[in-house]
Structure 1
Amino acid sequence: MPVTFIIIAITGIVSFMAFKNNRLMNDLILWPPAITRQHEYHRLVTYGVVHADFGHLFFNMLTLYFFGQVMEGFFTGRLGGFGFALFYIGGLVVSILPTYLKNRTNPNYRSLGASGAVSAVLFSFVLLAPWQKIIVLVIPMPAILYAVLYTGYSIFMDRRGQGNVNHSAHLWGAAYGVIFTLLMDQRVLPYFLNQLSHPSF
């Protein structure tokens, strides 16, 4: 079974369980003081298998389903059978670290959801197929255009500091996805630049 499907299955099952089990949710969610004081480092990963609601879960897992399989093939070819799992877990950790460090003594802060790691997968995909048409809220657009709009929106919302969405994790996840992919294969950058210079829709 593809690793992508395993991640989706685990995330879906645990999220549904946590919807009705507050204790499970509290044990897995990113709550910085639990890491700082109690050294519960597992929360840097487990926060990504719980979600706020069904819509939050559905959007993340649908995005992972469409782009994860392509990137799983890429990373498996370079890191072996667990390459994509390593990349994905790394995305969870790297995308949330700035948030954790900023709020490590804040008892009122919590964060959850796989958005940071999913952003890593999406932006890694953009490097390989920048002009691939994707559907965003029923609107078709090239992947590279979505990446630009997504980044701009996340930066704007992160600076505003309003709402319950961790836009910082989206940005750091995206950056991680790009950097990790380029480190895995140096041919990706010239390929990406060449693709950008030859638009195709």
Structure 2
Amino acid sequence: MFRMPPVTRALILACVVVYFADSLPGLDLEALMLWPIGSGNFMPWQVLSYAFLHGGPSHLIFNMFGLWMFGSELERVWGPRRQLVFYFASVLGAALMQLLVAAWSGATEPTIGASGGLFGLLLGFAMLFPNRKIVPLIPPIPMPAWLFVLIYGLVELGLGVTGTLNGVAHFAHLGGIVGGWLTLRYWRGQPPFGWGRR
């Protein structure tokens, strides 16, 4: 783990520390969750802090595995500073999408987890390494990264629209993809941005 690039390592360690800190008696981390704006519990810092909280061991493990797998590769190409900006832009995109959907649907439950940031990293990985082979767990069929992200995005959209798997923030995942995509467009000076940021 300590051979990981520094930002990826720090993000994983922070999520693990916060996960175990949440189980300490007398410590309440609800103020770090992303609450809907109309709930009365929303605070501005929650658009970033929610990404350090996880609901259980499998939630934490899968997110940290993805952060290690895709974040490490991207950080070696971009460097720590750009990796950090990209990750939190994806987290922010996920938060904004989730807040919009919650306001529209009247949802009152908070959102937690690094999944929005992870989906942004997936998008970044697919755009930088489109033909790199990925073997998903289900189905275990090798496919190029661009196809994997496209299929995953369409599945998330379908699950979100149909309300399948309640309790999973599907639109936050899509917001992470949008946040990552917009960040890459900005860096490249592509529409809707009109100048280069290379």
Residue 32 of structure 1: aligned partner: 36
The answer to whether 1:153 aligns with 2:155 is: yes
Listed as ranges, the matches of 1:126-141 within 5 Å are: 126-137=126-137, 139=140, 140-141=142-143
How far apart are 1:97 and its partner, in Å? 0.7
- CA–CA distance in structure 2, aligned partners of residues 69 and 103 of structure 1: 32
Residue 19 of structure 2: aligned partner: 15
Distance 1:36 1:65, change over 3 A: same
The residue type paired with residue 12 of structure 2 is: I
Residue 175 of structure 1: aligned partner: 178
Residue 196 of structure 2: aligned partner: none
SS where residue 28 of structure 2 aligns? helix
Percent identity between matched residues is 27
Q: Deviations 1:39-59 (Å, cap 9, x if unpaired)?
A: 621111111000111111111
Distance 1:145 1:9, change over 3 A: same
Residue 108 of structure 1: aligned partner: 108
Contact 2:34–2:42 (CA under 8 A) maintained in structure 1: no
The residue type paired with residue 25 of structure 1 is: L
Contact 2:35–2:46 (CA under 8 A) maintained in structure 1: yes
Contact 2:87–2:180 (CA under 8 A) maintained in structure 1: no
What's the TM-score, normalizing by structure 2?
Answer: 0.81
The answer to whether 1:49 aligns with 2:48 is: no
Unpaired segments of 5 or more residues in structure 2?
191-198
Q: Which structure has the highest helix share of the two?
A: 1
SS where residue 136 of structure 1 aligns? coil
What's the TM-score, normalizing by structure 1?
Answer: 0.80
The answer to whether 1:143 aligns with 2:142 is: no
The root-mean-square deviation of aligned C-alpha atoms, in Å, is: 2.5
- CA–CA distance in structure 2, aligned partners of residues 21 and 113 of structure 1: 21
The residue type paired with residue 96 of structure 1 is: A
Residue 88 of structure 2: aligned partner: 89
- CA–CA distance in structure 2, aligned partners of residues 63 and 174 of structure 1: 14
- CA–CA distance in structure 2, aligned partners of residues 147 and 170 of structure 1: 11
SS where residue 135 of structure 2 aligns? strand
Contact 1:154–1:170 (CA under 8 A) maintained in structure 2: yes
